[in-house]
Each structure stands twice: as structure tokens, then as C-alpha cells.
Amino acid sequence: MGNYLHTYFIMGSQNCRNEPEEVLKKAIQGGVTAFQFREKGEDALEGEEKVELGHRLRQICREHGVPFFVNDDVELVHVLGADGVHVGQDDLDITEVREEFPSLQIGLSVSTEEELHISRWDLADYLGVGPVFKTSSKDDAKAVIGVEGLRAIQGKVSIPVVAIGGIDETNVHEVRKTGAGASVISAIAGKERPEEVVRRLT
């Protein structure tokens, strides 16, 4: 597994119980190993407000040496000088993303073996695989694949895998046993003391 995938925190303002900047600082204090800016869905910021928040979160990651990823928004990757970008099956094609960013880290979502077969996953640096457990943070999440589904995809690829979907303190040990990293939104962003949760997740 790529080291930065160990505890990969993902969020936007719509996920946060407290100010996003404070949530991110505390999550970093707790030990998250990467961050993805995913300002998306109901209540998400748009336009200049989204960009401004992105700049502030990017700066926090830079100050703490935490890799900063942008979800979906290829233009924002340029604007924020991100370290990487995460794209899904319905986003910009990974072939184009790799052409645009030859030296950035690129993550690709895969939910099933069928998706894997039709994907240029060889162009990605890592796969985001899920939902492993039930999630309430993504309205259009696919069917839950469980730890067995995670293992099935892991067994077919030669790049690192990070699990996603419904991961929290009660089930993270199941993910750790597979050797995959853990990416988490609500179990960190929605808590009063994110740093304590992260310590228990790592």
C-alpha cells in the first residue's frame, strides 16, 4: 500500500460538524496521512467560496506535509496546485486525466470486478474501492461490496487500494486485515473531536 493511503481523510464543508479548517487541523493532529477536498452535494459551497475554502485547506496540508487531493474537479487541481486528483467511473476519463497530469498522483474509483475490467486502472496510482460498508455520505453510492468484494478487487491489481464507505472505529480493523488503506468521511468530519477518532482509526 502507498503509505499516504493508510488513513485518507476526505471531506468538504457539507460534511463538517465544526469549521472545516479546524476539522482538518485536528484530523492532521490525529495522524491522517492524506486529504481529499470533496466539496460536493447538498449544502456544498460553489464558485469562489469553494475555491477560497480549497486554498485554505490546501495551505493547511502544505504546512503539515500532508498530500492534498482534489475530487472530480480537474480545473481546481491546477488552481490549488494539488498533489493529486481522484476520479470516478462517471468523471473525466482517466486517459485524459493522465495526459493532463503526467506526474500527479491519480486515484480511480472501482466498485466491482466488471468496472475493473473496463477501466484503464493501469493509469492510476491507486484505486478507491467501495462502498465496503453502508454509507450515508454519498447519495449515488453503489451496492455495498463488503470486505470480500474489496479483497476480490485487490487480488486482481498491482497498484495500492484504499477502501471507502462506512468505515469507522468499529469496522476499520476488518479493512486493516486486508492490507488496504482506509478512507473516511463522516466518522472523522462529523465528530466533535476528530483527532481522537483518527488516533483510534490508525
Ligand X SMILES: Cc1nc(C(=O)O)sc1CCOP(=O)(O)O
**Residues, the chain, total?**
202
Is residue 199 involved in binding ligand LCLJCK34 (CB under 6 A)? Answer: no
Q: Which of 17, 25, 98, 138 is catalytic?
A: 138
What is the signed CA dihedral for 185, 33, 3, 158, rounded to 10 degrees? 30
Residues 6+ apart with CB under 8 A from 114: none
Burial track 169-200 (b if 16+ CB lie within 10 A, e otherwise): eebbebbeebebbbbbbbbbbbbeebbebbee
- What is the DSSP code string of 20-77? HHHHHHHHHHHT--EEEE---STT---HHHHHHHHHHHHHHHHHHT--EEEES-HHHH
- Contacts with ligand X by CB under 6 A: the residue count is 17
One-letter amino acid of 14: Q
**Active site annotation includes 17:** no
Which CB atom, from 164 or from 201, has the smaller least distance to ligand LCLJCK34?
A: 164
Is residue 85 involved in binding ligand X (CB under 6 A)? Answer: no
Residue choice 2, 67, 128, 160 for contact with ligand LCLJCK34 (CB under 6 A): 128
Is residue 13 involved in binding ligand LCLJCK34 (CB under 6 A)? Answer: no
**Active site annotation includes 26:** no
Residue choice 34, 57, 72, 94 for contact with Mg ion (CB under 5 A): 72
Closest CA to 169 of 179, 184, 180: 184
Question: Residue 93 and residue 124: Cα distance in Å, rounded?
Answer: 11
Stretch touching ligand LCLJCK34 by CB under 6 A, among 16-24, 47-55, 86-94, 116-124:
86-94
**Active site annotation includes 103:** no
**Residue 99 Cβ, how far from ligand X at the closest point, in Å?**
24
Q: Assess contact for 184 and 200: CB atoms under 8 A.
A: no
Which CB atom, from 18 or from 62, has the smaller least distance to ligand X?
A: 18
Residue choice 6, 26, 40, 191 for contact with ligand LCLJCK34 (CB under 6 A): 40
Question: Which does residue 107 touch among Mg ion, ligand LCLJCK34, ligand X, none (CB within 5 to 8 A, set by kind)?
Answer: ligand LCLJCK34
Q: Assess contact for 195 and 165: CB atoms under 8 A.
A: no
The contact set with ligand X (CB under 6 A) reads 109, 111, 128, 130-131, 135, 137-138, 141, 164-167, 184-187
> Which residues are catalytic, by number?
38, 109, 138
Annotated binding site: 36-40, 71-72, 91, 109, 135-138, 166, 185-186
